[in-house]
């Protein structure tokens, strides 16, 4: 047979593809019986890769560690990694692929709220489990989703309380990136501050686009707002990428933490890795975990992480701890249920308690949120945080904020008789606002 070069190429291509497809089809069939598959749905490319890649790595590490301990239910765990590429609709497609094609038992993933909202109907429809590890705006509770990050009452509200009590702040700048998490959080904070007697003119709200890099005007506005003779603080819900230029500008314009402290909800050890933190010492962040917390469990985790990544400079952060907690909870629930069947695991999840990395325990509550300690840390010149305050006990996550008129009557309880994510205590009916 005579072939031209193009044809040869096409044939080879087709053969390779065929083999690939065949392999792809065969692998799960062979593997299905002796492994449990764990889906990892984090962006490895695009804008969110900066934050999410680390979470993929930490999941791989946890799965490897679990397999070293003998796996789960006598089977080995197998990670299935997909890349939704920071593209929200693609998150839903990839979630569908993980659940129906790869038949994963559970998915760990998402970072932004919009990606979570995008996959939510898929998990509901195909009845699978998602562990969501990032602090978020609340106002949601869904049967198939377990929220291991902080709800607003586990981060924002205690931070504001700290500033009021310890720093005597009377004037507030709420600065955020223009999307759902900052807007909802600021709405809750504004209502909370007003309830605490802060006057309208003592609150300044400012939104900036994603990736905003020219902070000169806003920083000088903050400076002007702070010169009214009252102690002023900035509550920042500025998202990842825009933070570095924001903090650089603060340093350049000489805003010191002693004068106008900035407390951030989205700035962790990873974000600080790209900045010289010398001028930022004393600015704050509120999280449920800091790498600097001295606890044997944390030290072991950090050592394992550095060994796993092969990089002694890698840092750990709060969403990573959330995945550790979520993964351990899932393992425990599966052991309790004796199966990976979604319905059984979802029921077994509630009440599961595992140690967190800061020396306490986290329990999964009926509203699918967990209990966490709230820590306030000050930035140090080595890029780490030092805890200056923490809540005396654990704070249970409150999904429906008590400070918003729409949601103050709603509660969520996924246990058997009620089984409702938005039960309205005023009307006594399931199905208030939201999903």
Partner 1 sequence: MRILIQVVLATVLALAAISGAKAQDADLRDLINGLAVGGYSETEEQIAALAATGDPAVVPVLEALAEGDVYARKSDRMVFIAEKVGSTYTLTDPLTGETVDEVASGAIDKIKVNNRLRRAIRTALGALTLMSPDAGTRRAAAEAIFQSGDPDAIELIDAAIEQEQNPSIAKLMREARAAAVLNSDLSDEEKVAAIEVIKTRSGRDSLSLLIPLTEVEGPVGAAATAAVSAIEGELAMWDAAQNVWYGLSLGSVLLLAAIGLAITFGVMGVINMAHGEMVMIGAYTTFVVQEIIRSNAPWLFDSSLFIAIPLAFLVAGAVGVAIERGVIRFLYGRPLETLLATWGISLILQQAVRTIFGPTNQQVGTPSWMSGSFEIGLLQITYNRLAIIVFALIVFFLLMAFLKRTPFGLQMRAVTQNRQMASAMGIRTPWVDAMTFGLGSGIAGMAGVALSQIDNVSPNLGQSYIIDSFMVVVFGGVGNLWGTLVGAFTLGIANKFLEPYAGAVLGKILVLVFIILFIQKRPRGLFALRGRAIEA
Q: In this complex, which beta carbon is closest to partner 1, that of residue 77 or of residue 175?
A: 175
Residue 318 binds partner 1, judged by CB under 8 A:
no
Q: In this complex, which beta carbon is closest to partner 1, that of residue 54 or of residue 291?
A: 54
Residue 206 binds partner 1, judged by CB under 8 A:
yes
Q: Which residue has the tokens 């340093």?
A: 251
Of 92-100, 107-115, 200-208, 427-435, the segment contacting partner 1 by CB under 8 A is 200-208
- Indicate the DSSP class of residue 280: G
Residue 49 binds partner 1, judged by CB under 8 A:
yes
For 277, the token pair is 């933190």
Q: How far is the CB of 70 from partner 1 (least distance, A)?
A: 32
Burial label for 296, CB within 10 Å (0-12, 13-18, 19+), is exposed
* Spatial separation of the C-alpha atoms in residues 424 and 119, rounded to whole Å: 25
Contacts of partner 1 in 219-278 (CB under 8 A) = 220-221, 223-224, 226-230, 241, 244-245, 248-249, 251-254, 257-259, 261, 270-271, 273-276
Residue 176 binds partner 1, judged by CB under 8 A:
no
Helical ranges in 127-198 per DSSP H: 156-166, 180-195
Residue 212 binds partner 1, judged by CB under 8 A:
yes
Helical ranges in 48-153 per DSSP H: 49-68, 88-96, 113-126
Among the listed residues 11, 25, 45, 427, the single contact to partner 1 using CB under 8 A: 45
Binding mask 131-170 for partner 1 (x = CB under 8 A): -----------------------------------xx---
Burial label for 234, CB within 10 Å (0-12, 13-18, 19+), is buried
* Spatial separation of the C-alpha atoms in residues 176 and 205, rounded to whole Å: 8
Residue 100 binds partner 1, judged by CB under 8 A:
no
Q: How far is the CB of 296 from partner 1 (least distance, A)?
A: 13
Q: Which of 225, 258, 220, 263 is nearest to 243 (CA)?
A: 263
Give every CB contact of residue 289 below 8 A, 6+ residues apart in sequence: 298, 316, 317, 318, 320, 321, 322, 356, 357, 358, 375
* Residue ranges in contact with partner 1 by CB under 8 A: 44-47, 49-50, 53-54, 166-167, 178, 206-209, 211-214, 216-218, 220-221, 223-224, 226-230, 241, 244-245, 248-249, 251-254, 257-259, 261, 270-271, 273-276, 281-282, 378, 380-381, 386, 388
């Amino acid at each position: 047979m005579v072939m031209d070069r193009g044809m040869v190429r096409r044939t080879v291509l087709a053969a390779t593809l065929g083999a690939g497809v065949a392999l792809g089809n065969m692998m799960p069939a062979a593997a299905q019986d002796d492994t449990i598959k764990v889906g990892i749905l984090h962006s490895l490319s695009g804008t969110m890769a900066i934050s999410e890649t680390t979470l993929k790595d930490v999941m791989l590490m946890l799965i490897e560690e679990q397999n070293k301990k003998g796996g789960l239910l006598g089977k080995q765990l197998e990670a299935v990694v997909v890349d939704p590429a920071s593209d929200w609709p693609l998150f839903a497609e990839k979630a569908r692929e993980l659940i129906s094609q790869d038949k994963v038992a559970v998915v760990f993933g998402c970072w932004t709220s919009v990606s979570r909202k995008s996959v939510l109907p898929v998990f509901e429809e195909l009845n699978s489990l998602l562990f969501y590890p990032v602090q978020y705006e609340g106002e949601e509770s869904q049967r198939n989703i377990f929220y291991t990050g902080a709800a607003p009452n586990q981060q924002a509200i205690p931070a504001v309380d700290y500033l009021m009590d310890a720093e005597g702040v009377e004037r507030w700048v709420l600065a955020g990136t223009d999307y759902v998490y900052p807007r909802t959080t600021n709405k809750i904070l504004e209502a909370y501050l007003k309830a605490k007697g802060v006057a309208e003119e003592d609150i300044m709200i400012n939104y900036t686009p994603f990736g905003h890099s020219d902070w000169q005007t806003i920083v000088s506005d903050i400076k002007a707002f702070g010169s009214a003779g009252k102690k002023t603080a900035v509550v920042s819900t500025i998202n990842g990428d825009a933070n570095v230029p924001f903090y650089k500008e603060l340093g350049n314009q000489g805003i010191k933490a002693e004068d106008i402290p900035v407390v951030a909800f989205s700035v962790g050890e990873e974000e600080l890795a790209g900045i010289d933190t010398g001028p930022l010492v004393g600015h704050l962040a509120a999280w449920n975990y800091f790498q600097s917390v001295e606890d044997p469990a944390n030290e072991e985790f950090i050592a394992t992480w550095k060994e796993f990544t092969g990089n002694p400079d890698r840092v750990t952060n709060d969403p990573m701890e959330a995945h550790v907690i979520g993964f351990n909870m899932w393992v425990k629930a599966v052991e309790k249920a004796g199966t990976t069947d979604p319905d059984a695991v979802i029921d077994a999840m509630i009440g599961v308690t595992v140690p967190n990395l800061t020396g306490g325990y986290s329990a999964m509550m009926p509203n699918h949120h967990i209990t966490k300690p709230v820590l306030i840390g000050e930035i140090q010149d080595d890029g780490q945080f030092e805890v200056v305050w923490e809540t005396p006990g654990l704070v249970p996550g409150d999904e429906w904020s008590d400070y918003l008129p729409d949601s103050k009557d709603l509660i969520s309880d996924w246990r058997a008789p009620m089984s409702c994510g938005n039960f309205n205590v005023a009307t006594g009916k399931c199905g208030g606002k939201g999903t």
